[in-house]
Amino acid sequence: MRVRQTAGVLLASPWILTFLAFWLFPLIYSLFLGLTDYRLLQPTYSWVGFQNFINLFSDTIFLNSLKNTFIFVFGAIPVTTIISLIMALLLDKSFRGRTLFRSGFFMPSITSMVVIALIFTNLYSRGGYIFLLAQMAGFSPPGNGFLLSNKTALLSIMAMDVWMSVGYYMLLFLAGLKSIPIELYEAADVAGAGRWRKFYSITLPLLKPVTLFIIVINTIKSFQVFIEIFVMTQGKYNSSSAVYFIYELGLNRFEFGYASAAAYLLFMIIAIFSFIQFKLMKQG
Amino acid sequence: MKTKSFIPFLMIISLLGIIACSGGGRKGEPITLEWWQFWTDPAIKPTIEKIAADYETHNPGVKIRLTDLTWGNGHEKIVIAFSSGTAPDIVELGSDWILEFSSSGQLAPISKDIIADTAKFYGWPPAIYNNDIYAFPWILGTRVLYINRGLLKKTNLDSNFVPVNWEQLKKLCYKIDSLGGGIYGFGSNAAEKHTLYKKFLPFFWSNNARIVSEDGKYSVISSDKGFAALKYYKELSDSCGMVDTQRRLEDAFLAGKVGVIISGDWLLKRIRNEKIDIDFITGLIPGPEYPGKSFVGGEYLAISNKSQNKIEALKFIKYLTDRENELLFCKTNYSANPANEEATKDSFFADDPALQTFIMQLNLSRFPPADPQWVYIEDIIETMLEDVLFNGQPVAESLYKARNKIQKLIDEKRK
């Protein structure tokens, strides 16, 4: 029995060691750094307790980045969820070319985020197709393009993110729709229920676990928004997010102590939101 | 029992290891100088290697070990190397990076060993910290005006017209802009990091405005002169400017879509290497007093404070920056602005009008203030420019806000 236990530990040790060295240790060490004023090139550092966390709450740049992150989360998630649900309902029906549409909508999800961000940077610029389309539709886009304005930069990035994500979530909704027993719809037909009634009373309640799952993973992903901002605006034009703030502080200014504190604060926010959502999921 | 017999074996292995590793640095054995540098372009890398190989030939006791860095992550690698005590003997640094390493004690002071060279080189200000010199200027880079002569000829101005003051520059840009057909007068930079302020400061400095007072105690960015410079730049940008990234502005200039841009000598190299058919002229930065002042940055060579070979490292740096090697570098790279003053007098620059413009502008260029807080001040200036140029904020108010933020930094530092 003991030999088996030792063998088990030995066999698992590569993973355990990797976990300890590259996951657990950095996690704990970064918490420790968050309580110091450590800067990479500084020879010494001192313990500051929770001062970094306190400073974050009066740091207008951080608060603005956090505000943008919340706008991103609460703006993009409902839109993404609703559009992907509508698309899934439409593509759940049988019609010619359905597979083509499904593949087409899913395509952005498997394309590199950097490539998409670069393409959209061009589309949003003055003279880009989206800019020209907006002009043709009678809108007056910002003079220098959508990404060079405080008013539209973040919204433009959010719109691109919605476009990019809906295909993936549509696929999850489609899987959810397939799992709903057909008998329920047949029973509703016998009872004389209309299309909307069936949707409200059968489809929507039975899609609740999938919907909550989508909202949870999309929330976590949206709180971590970074690549789009890095490529498209470099955090300029009031589009910086919390993760971009941490990147700028940690990897450009090497203020590891303060950046670690900001990272932990973001971690706590995500953890709280995820906890609430999982609670809701359990209730569902 | 088994464990006991294993211990002597381990000791022998360790001893052998120590003996094997302690060989380096013995008398008579070659010294290896580690050098981290950024010139990875296949056009220039062989020249770098040749200079290093020539040095080895002339100095049989020295080996140069080159490591290439990229602009994408080179800074991070250098910071990590210094903070982990594994920095190379010699490292190439951008002018705006020197201070963060010198002020944190990572670089070796070299003042007393190069005092005789200071008059022979340009570009010392960014290398100085607390009255000591920490880096040796190698290659400098300033910005000048580029004028698309194809577009200039379509206006009724002389085909060799180069503006010498702000009014003339505005007139030139307006005339080109009024050609229509998607042609813009002036290339105005979008808010790319570390770029926009470099395009504004030539106007600011040419109007004799300052960011911080001479004694370093006060923020004076919102002076009348600063206000006039920003107001002028905004007018130019708003009325006839194509707003985009530096690279895209250069593309548009080369495609005949923008009449005037401010750029560095890398554009000359690009035009030559890509064999771009364009009729253009270069000009000095215009200003209320001609010629105006431009922005200058550069590449510097510094020695790690922990290097065991400081004397040899400095000897190699002096070799790299001597007249012949600077010229060899510039000729291969087709770039102007060697830091070595003697090299700037060579006919290679004098015979080429475009390169000569850069040499002339170099004498009239400024570095950003050598201040450990510059990274924050730069951020404040860029935010101010974004507010004014792209978000419709009033010039005076934005300058005043920037002034207060910079003053706060100064006050914090003085505390």
With a cut of 50, say whether residue A138 has pLDDT above it: yes
pLDDT at B115: 86
What are the tens digits of pLDDT across the range B374-395? 888 998 999 999 889 888 899 9
> In this prediction, what percent of chain B has a pLDDT beyond 70?
93
Asked if A144 lies within 8 A of B390 by C-beta distance, the reply is yes
Q: Which of A31, A148, A51 is nearest to B238 (CA)?
A: A148
pLDDT at A284: 59
For chain B, the structural domain boundaries read 29-142+297-366, 144-284+373-414
What's the pLDDT tens digit per position in A69-121? 999 999 999 999 999 999 999 999 888 888 999 999 999 999 999 999 999 99
Q: Which of B246-255, B318-327, B405-414 has the lowest mean pLDDT?
A: B405-414
- Contact assessment for residue A41 and residue B104, using Cβ atoms and an 8 Å cutoff: yes
Closest to A261 (Cα-Cα) out of A43, A48, A44 = A48
| The pLDDT value given to residue B19 | 45
**B135: enclosing H helix or E strand:** strand B135-142
Whether pLDDT at B6 is above 50: no
Q: Tell me, what's the pLDDT at B13?
A: 52
Q: Are B205 and B293 in contact (CB under 8 A)?
A: yes
Supply the mean pLDDT for chain A: 92
Which residues of chain B does A253 touch, with a Cβ-Cβ cutoff of 8 Å? 375
**Cβ <8 Å between A43 and B104:** yes
Tell me, what's the pLDDT at B2? 46
Radius of gyration in angstroms for the set of CA atoms belonging to chain B, rounded to a whole number: 25
pLDDT at residue B337, as a whole number: 85
Please say if the pLDDT value at position B311 is more than 50: yes
Cis upstream peptide for B46 (omega within 30°): no
The residues spanned by each domain of chain A are 35-283
Binding-site residues on chain A for chain B (CB distance < 8 A): 40-43, 125-127, 144-145, 148-150, 234, 236-237, 251, 253-254
State the amino acid at position A181 in one-letter form: P
Residue B16 pLDDT > 70: no
Given this structure, which CATH class describes domain B29-142+297-366? alpha beta
Does pLDDT of A65 surpass 80?
A: yes
Whether residue B365 contacts residue B294, with contact meaning beta carbons closer than 8 Å, is answered with yes
What's the pLDDT band for B1 if we cut at 50, 70, 90?
very low
Give residue B12's pLDDT.
52
pLDDT at position A108 is 93
Kindly state the average pLDDT of the residues A266-281: 88
Collect all residues of chain B within an 8 Å Cβ-Cβ radius of residue A42.
Answer: 104
For residues A29-45, average pLDDT: 90
pLDDT of residue A1: 65
B121-172 pLDDT, tens per residue?
999 999 999 999 999 999 999 999 999 999 999 998 998 999 999 999 999 9
Q: What is the CATH number of domain B144-284+373-414?
A: 3.40.190.10
CB pairs under 8 A between A and B: 44
**Distance of residue B190 Cα from the nearest chain A Cα, in angstroms:** 7
Residue B200 sits at the chain A interface (C-beta within 8 Å): no
Q: Is the pLDDT of residue B24 over 50?
A: no
- What is the model's pLDDT at position B22? 43
Percent of chain A scoring above 70 in pLDDT: 99
Residue closest to B232 by CA, chosen among B186, B193, B190: B186
Query: CA neighbours within 13 Å on the CB side: how many for A158?
Result: 22
Q: Taking CB atoms and an 8 Å limit, are B193 and A234 in contact across chains? A: yes
Query: pLDDT grade, residue B21 (50/70/90)?
Result: very low
The 10 Å Cβ neighbour count of residue B63 is 14
* Chain B nearest-CA residue for A127: B182
| CA B34 distance to own-chain centroid | 23
Residue at A244: amino acid letter: Y
pLDDT in tens, B179-215: 998 899 999 988 678 889 999 999 999 999 999 998 8
Distance CA B49, CA B55 (A): 10
Q: CA–CA separation, B232 vs B246, rounded Å?
A: 20
Query: A152: which chain B residues are within 8 Å (Cβ-Cβ)?
Result: none
CB contacts of A237 in chain B (<8 Å) are 191, 386, 390-391
What is the Cβ-side half-sphere exposure of residue B92, based on CA atoms within 13 angstroms? 21
A187, A222 Cβ separation under 8 angstroms: no
- The residues that bridge with B302 in the sheet, in sequence order, are B91, B135
Q: What confidence score (pLDDT) does residue B18 get?
A: 47
pLDDT tens across B345-372, in order? 999 999 999 999 999 999 899 998 888 7
- DSSP structural state of residue A21: I
ipTM reported for the complex, 2 dp: 0.76
Under the banding of pLDDT at 50, 70 and 90, the label for residue B413 is: confident
Residue A252 C-alpha, separation from nearest chain B C-alpha, in angstroms: 8
Judging contacts by C-beta atoms under 8 Å, the chain A residues touching residue B191 are 148, 234, 236-237
Q: What is the mean pLDDT of chain B?
A: 90
Q: What is the DSSP letter of B284?
A: P
Min distance A40 CA to chain B CA atoms (Å): 6
B220 touches chain A (CB under 8 A): no
Whether pLDDT at B20 is above 60: no
**A35-283 — its CATH code?**
1.10.3720.10
